[in-house]
């Protein structure tokens, strides 16, 4: 049914049909037109409010309709008052020198940023309200928008408006917002349209900012076999006809059979090939357990999201690490986990601090011509291990953008600095090998990204001697055997991301249980009789 008439008469009819008390401000009046069917009183009031400037409040069974003057309201925003500053950079330089000239060139990637929900929230509200102020500049009850960020401005407002009743008694030609981060409060003064926008912004910001991302970074070290000295052949994972391409898809009879054939190839169950009956039985037990585990897994096929960027479906990471045994001996170096809020940087750090001492000698000449030497010893620390800087951004569609900088370092040796000022005792300085990547990638919820290709040659020196005889000066070398071995190692980094959703803020709309009453018996479902004025077909 279509209704066209006075908004006051419409509100009185709705209150009568739903058995509610009704108080209407004298300033609320005007013409309204609605077409509605089978809606609750709350839905109808929301539609009426969009056409007619007014404010709706409920006290028990009483519905209060007020003029759309500015009013004060507090909003709870549960975020700590802190600003996180982060920076990340990867730099490299090449320098050369010749006779009479020195040249250098450098390349690098760097980014800096800050994370503060309160600052961003105030900035968004300020920008939107300034736009509304320009739009409504012609009305006498609207004015400029102000953001108050200090206690002095709030105290001035308290002196100007001594009570809420006095504040609402007359329109004020200014709207403002004041933040109290320590108390988790946002105080806003404006009309109902502005309050609705502020509620929407807060709800949106909290819904997004309260999403959490569970991150797991797993570093796998692979001592490559002679067959794969060039590194892991990832085409085996991507090919549908390759062994791993079938294995890492959704479990099917064909893929499970292929997986079983591969396991029997790597872990023979024949007694002669296994070397012993016990080993063959152990291999059979392992194959049976792996078959049961893989058959119960779910996830999407291993996909290629870009050149050199591989992603696994959730639940397939352990299987992928197990399959890497084909390329050489594998060892999980580190596998930390951490949860972080959306848009907040996180740091995964598993390191060992290597300490060395730096000696500085300074000489000062006294007035009498004597020289005074000052020796200063400074402790220096070099962290060695695995460090990952991660900055996640979660989209509404469940995608996760990860800005990552994983770094792997290890001590490869030591160097003795030259003696200074006749000092023979110098602390050995660690020589550190660093493998580092800076990347930006897009993942689906639950996927695991793969980064590889970090290859290095590791040399190990071993000395074996006859006890006692090998320690004699001069002839000890005759009873000593020195062995040097070299192996090629590739580091693979798996990074998994999982979204953890969290509820949003408390809805501050007047959505009382009263407003959810069924209005099926209201005038919109009654026969068209003369009790409702100006009914238009």
Residue-wise pLDDT tens digits, 206-233: 877 778 888 888 888 888 888 777 777 7
Contact 64, 44 (CB under 8 A): no
Tokens found for residue 30: 């005007």
In this structure, how many other beta carbons lie within 10 angstroms of the beta carbon of residue 52? 18
pLDDT of residue 502: 54
Average pLDDT, rounded, for the chain: 70
pLDDT of residue 479: 62
Q: Same domain for 491 and 521?
A: no
Report which of 224, 257, 227 is spatially closest to residue 243, judged by C-alpha positions: 257
Higher pLDDT, 30 or 116: 30
Strands 101-115 and 21-24, how do they pair?
unpaired
pLDDT of residue 83: 65
Higher pLDDT, 472 or 138: 472
> What is the Cα–Cα distance from 275 to 193, expressed in whole angstroms?
80
Q: Same domain for 362 and 218?
A: yes
Residue 291 lies in a domain: no
Main-chain dihedrals φ then ψ at residue 170, nearest 5 degrees: -145, 145
Res. 42 pLDDT band, cuts 50 70 90 = confident
Q: Same domain for 139 and 219?
A: no
Q: Same domain for 17 and 52?
A: yes
Higher pLDDT, 260 or 345: 345
Q: Which domain holds residue 185?
A: 116-190
Q: Same domain for 154 and 21?
A: no
Torsion sign across C-alpha atoms 504, 509, 510, 515: negative
End of a domain among 138, 156, 190? 190
Q: Same domain for 413 and 467?
A: yes
Residue 108 lies in a domain: no
Tokens found for residue 389: 């800087």
Q: Same domain for 217 and 347?
A: yes
In this structure, how many other beta carbons lie within 10 angstroms of the beta carbon of residue 509? 13
CB-count exposure of residue 222 (10 Å: 0-12, 13-18, 19+): buried
pLDDT of residue 82: 66
Q: What is the DSSP letter of 111?
A: E
Main-chain dihedrals φ then ψ at residue 327, nearest 5 degrees: -90, -10
pLDDT in tens, 144-195: 455 554 444 444 443 443 333 333 333 444 678 888 888 888 888 888 888 8
At 8 the three-state DSSP class reads helix
Task: Supply the pTM of this predicted model.
Answer: 0.56
Contact 450, 303 (CB under 8 A): no
Length of the chain: 537
Element (H, E) at 310: strand 309-312
Tokens found for residue 27: 């300033």
Residue 75 lies in a domain: no
Res. 425 pLDDT band, cuts 50 70 90 = low
Paired with 185 in beta bridges are 76, 180
> What is the Cα–Cα distance from 301 to 315, expressed in whole angstroms?
11
Strands 328-334 and 212-224, how do they pair?
antiparallel
pLDDT of residue 286: 82
pLDDT of residue 197: 87
> What is the Cα–Cα distance from 208 to 343, expressed in whole angstroms?
9
Residue 278 lies in a domain: no
**In sequence order, what are the residues at sequence separation of 6 or more whose Cβ sits closer than 8 angstroms to the Cβ of residue 296?**
251
Q: Same domain for 34 and 121?
A: no
CATH number at residue 45: 3.55.50.30
Torsion sign across C-alpha atoms 113, 117, 120, 124: positive
Q: Same domain for 239 and 360?
A: yes
> What is the Cα–Cα distance from 155 to 150, expressed in whole angstroms?
9
Strands 2-6 and 31-35, how do they pair?
antiparallel
Q: How far is CA 416 from the centre of its chain?
A: 43
In this structure, how many other beta carbons lie within 10 angstroms of the beta carbon of residue 531? 12
Contact 12, 29 (CB under 8 A): no
Residue 205 lies in a domain: no
Higher pLDDT, 457 or 115: 457
* pLDDT for 273 beyond 60: yes
> What is the Cα–Cα distance from 341 to 360, expressed in whole angstroms?
45
Residue 103 lies in a domain: no
Residue 246 lies in a domain: yes
Residue 337 lies in a domain: yes
pLDDT of residue 296: 63
Lowest-confidence range among 173-182, 236-245, 272-281? 236-245
Q: Same domain for 519 and 478?
A: no
Higher pLDDT, 526 or 42: 42
Residue 369 Ramachandran class (φ > 0 left, ψ -120 to 50 alpha, else beta): left
Domain count, the chain: 3
pLDDT in tens, 474-507: 666 666 766 667 778 888 888 888 888 654 444 4
Q: Same domain for 148 and 222?
A: no
* pLDDT for 390 beyond 50: yes
Q: Same domain for 186 and 217?
A: no
């Amino acid at each position: 049914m279509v209704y066209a008439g006075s908004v006051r008469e419409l509100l009185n009819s709705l209150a009568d049909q739903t058995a509610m008390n009704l108080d209407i401000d004298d300033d609320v009046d005007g013409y309204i037109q609605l077409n509605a069917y089978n809606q609750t009183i709350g839905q109808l009031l929301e539609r009426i409010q969009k056409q007619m400037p007014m404010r709706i409040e409920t006290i028990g069974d009483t519905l209060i309709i007020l003029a759309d003057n500015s009013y004060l309201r507090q909003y709870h925003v549960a975020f700590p008052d802190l600003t996180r500053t982060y920076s990340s950079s990867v730099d490299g330089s090449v320098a050369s020198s010749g006779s009479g000239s020195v040249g250098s060139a450098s390349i690098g990637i760097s980014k800096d940023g800050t994370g503060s929900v309160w600052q961003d929230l105030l900035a968004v509200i300020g920008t939107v309200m300034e736009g509304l102020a320009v739009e409504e500049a012609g009305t006498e009850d609207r004015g400029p928008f102000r953001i108050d960020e200090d206690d002095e401005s709030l105290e001035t407002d308290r002196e100007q408006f001594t009570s809420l009743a006095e504040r609402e008694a007359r329109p004020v030609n200014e709207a403002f917002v004041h933040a109290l981060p320590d108390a988790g409060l946002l105080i806003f003064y404006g009309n109902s349209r502005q309050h609705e926008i502020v509620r929407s912004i807060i709800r949106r910001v909290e819904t997004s900012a309260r999403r959490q991302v569970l991150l797991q970074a797993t570093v796998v070290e692979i001592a490559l076999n002679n067959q794969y000295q060039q590194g892991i052949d990832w085409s085996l994972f991507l090919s549908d006809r390759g062994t791993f391409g079938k294995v890492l898809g959704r479990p099917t009879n064909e893929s499970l059979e292929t997986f079983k054939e591969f396991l029997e190839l790597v872990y023979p169950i024949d007694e002669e090939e296994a070397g012993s009956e016990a080993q063959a039985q152990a291999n059979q037990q392992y194959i049976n357990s792996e078959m049961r585990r893989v058959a119960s897994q779910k996830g999407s096929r291993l996909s290629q999201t870009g050149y050199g960027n591989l992603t696994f479906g959730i639940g397939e990471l352990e299987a992928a690490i197990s399959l890497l045994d084909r390329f050489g001996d594998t060892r999980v170096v580190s596998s930390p986990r951490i949860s972080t809020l959306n848009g907040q940087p996180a740091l995964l750090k598993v390191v060992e601090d290597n300490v060395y001492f730096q000696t500085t000698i300074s000489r000062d000449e006294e007035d009498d011509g004597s020289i005074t030497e000052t020796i200063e010893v400074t402790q220096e620390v070099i962290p060695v291990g695995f460090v990952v800087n991660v900055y996640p951004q979660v989209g509404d569609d469940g995608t996760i953008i990860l800005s990552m900088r994983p770094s792997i370092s290890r001590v490869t040796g030591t160097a003795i600095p030259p003696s200074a000022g006749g000092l023979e005792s110098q602390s050995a300085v660690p020589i550190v090998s660093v493998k580092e990547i800076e990347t930006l990638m897009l993942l689906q919820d639950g996927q695991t990204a793969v980064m590889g290709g970090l290859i290095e040659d590791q040399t190990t020196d071993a000395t074996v001697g006859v006890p006692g005889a090998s320690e004699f000066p001069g002839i000890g070398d005759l009873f000593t055997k020195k062995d040097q071995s070299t192996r090629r190692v590739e580091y693979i980094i798996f990074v998994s991301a999982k979204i953890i959703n969290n509820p949003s803020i408390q809805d501050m709309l007047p959505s009382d249980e009263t407003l959810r009453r069924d209005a099926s018996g209201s005038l919109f479902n009654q026969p068209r009789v003369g009790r409702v004025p100006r009914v238009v077909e």
